[in-house]
Amino acid sequence: MNKIAMSKSQVLRNCVWGGLCIAILASSIGVMRFLIMNGPKATTAEPVEKIVTVMTEPAIISAIQIHLKSQGEVNPRHRTQLMAQVGGKLSHVSESFRPGITFKGPTVEAEGELLLQVEKGDYEAAVAAANATLAEARLALTMEEAKRTQAVRDWDKIRKGQQPTELVRRVPQIRSAEARIRAAEAGLEKALQDLKRTEIRAPYDCRIERTYVDVGATVVPGVPLVELVSLGPVEIRLPLSLEDYGYLEREDGVLKGRVVVSGEIGGETVEWIGEIMRSEEIVERSTRSINVVAEFGGDGEGVPPIGMFVQASIQGKTISDAVRIPRSGVVDRDKVLLVENGRLAIRPAKVLWTESSHVIVRGGDGDGEIPGGATVVTTPPSPLVQNTRVREELAKAGSEGDSAGGGESAE
C-alpha cells in the first residue's frame, strides 16, 4: 500500500512541474509577440549613389608624327693616328704642334701644312746614290747597244746573207741592262718616296688631339707621332631599340630624318640640327639595339663639340588616324577610361606609341580603337569600377601635370 501511495505522489509532482514549464513558455511567447507587434519600426530609404568628379578632354583623331629618343657621343668624321714611315731624328717641329691647334690639309695648289720634319741628309744621299746607279745602268745599256751594232756589222762581213744569232745581237746582255735600268728607276723612286716621307704633313683640315713626340726626339718606322681629328662635319652614333628602329622614315629604302640634339653648355641648353646619314644595320648583342649615324655641320652650320654627350630627338614616321591621350587616362597598359552616358567606361585600346607624358592609340570605331570626339578621363577615380557615375570637368590645356591625382567624390 505504501508503494502505491508513493507512486501516485511522484506522478502528481511531475504533472505540476510540467504544467509550470508550459505556462512559463506560453507567457514568454506571448510577451515576445507583444513586443514585436508594438515595437518601433525602422524607416526605409533608397541608397544614395555617389558621383565622382573627373577631369576630361575630348579625343581628337589626327595624323601624329613620332619622335624617337636616343643619346650619344659626338665624334669627328675622321680620326687619324699618324705614324713615322722612316726613321731618324726630328729636325723640325711646327710651333703650333700642340693639342687643340688646327692645320690646313692639302689643296689643288698646295700640300698640307708641315707638322714634323725628320733629318733628311741620309735620305738625300740615298737619292744621289740611286741616281748614280740609274746612270750606270743606262750607260751599260748604251754600251751593249753599241757592241750589238759592231757585232752585227762584223757578222755581215763574215757570213753575208745569214741571220745573226741572239748572242751575236747581244739580246741577253741588252735585256739584262734594261732590267738593271728598271731596278735602278724603282730604287730611285723609293729613295724619293723616303725623302718625301721625312716630312709629316696634315692629311686634311684637322685639329691636333694628342701629341707623342717633341723637338729632338728620334723616331723609328711604326711609332705613333700625333693623333688628329677632322674639322667640319661631325657624326653621332644613336642606338635605337628594334621597335623604335621600325618607326624611322625611309625613302626608296634609304633612312632619312631630321635629328635635333641638345646639351648643356655654360648652364644653358644648346641645340643643333642634323640629318640621319646611314644605319649600321647590325644588332648589338649586349643591348639588342641598332645604331644609326646622324651628321651635323654638313651645311656649314655650327656643330657640337667633339666628345660631348648629347640627348637626341629623331623625327620618325607619321601615324595616321591616331589619338594622343595623357598617360593618366590609360590603365593596365592598354585600357582607356572614357565617359559614356554619364558613367565610367573602361575600353581596351591598341597602343601604338608611348611618350613621356602621353600615349598614342589607334583612332576609329572598331575594336581596340577610340572614337573621335569621345570623352577621355584624365583623372582616374578610386576605386576604379566600371559604370561608376561621374561628373565631367573639362581639363585645362597644359594641366597634364595635375591630372595624375585621383577624382573628387561628391554626394
Listed in order, strand segments (DSSP E) in 143-219 are 199-201, 206-211, 218-219
Q: Is residue 27 part of a domain?
A: no
| pLDDT tens-digit series, residues 224-254 | 999 999 999 999 999 999 989 988 988 888 8
How far is residue 141's CA from residue 150's CA, in Å, rounded to a whole number? 14
Q: Give yes or no: residues 226 and 93 share one domain.
A: yes
* pTM for the model: 0.69
Q: pLDDT class for 287, splitting at 50, 70, 90?
A: confident
Of the three residues 288, 304, 319, the one that is the final residue of a domain is 319
Note the pLDDT of residue 6: 59
Rg (CA), the chain: 50
Query: Is 279 domain-assigned?
Result: yes
Per the model's pLDDT, the better-predicted residue between 33 and 161 turns out to be 33
pLDDT tens-digit map of 106-137: 998 889 999 999 999 999 999 999 999 999 99
Q: Are residues 305 and 340 in the same domain?
A: no
Q: How confident is the model at residue 405 (pLDDT cuts 50, 70, 90)?
A: very low
Number of structural domains the chain divides into? 4
Q: What is 24-39 written as a DSSP string? A: HHHHHHHHHHHHHHHS
What CATH number did the domain enclosing 380 receive?
Answer: 2.40.420.20
32 falls within a domain: no
- In terms of residue numbers, what domain contains 93? 78-116+200-231
- For residue 401, name the pLDDT band (cuts at 50, 70, 90): very low
**What are the DSSP calls for 70-118, one per residue?**
EEEEEEES-EEEEE-SS-EEEEEE-TT-STT-EE----SSSPPPEEEEE
What does the pLDDT look like over 12-56, one tens digit per residue? Answer: 777 777 777 787 877 777 777 777 777 676 666 666 667 888 888
My answer on whether 106 and 205 are in the same domain is yes
Average pLDDT over residues 169-190: 90
CATH number at residue 270: 2.40.30.170
Residue 16 lies in a domain: no
Residue 148 lies in a domain: yes
Over residues 301-347, the pLDDT tens digits come to 889 999 999 999 999 988 888 999 998 888 888 888 888 888 888 88
Domain identity same for 188 and 327: no
341 belongs to a structural domain = yes
Domain C-terminal end among 181, 197, 213: 197
- Of 197, 222, 251, the position where a domain reaches its end is 197
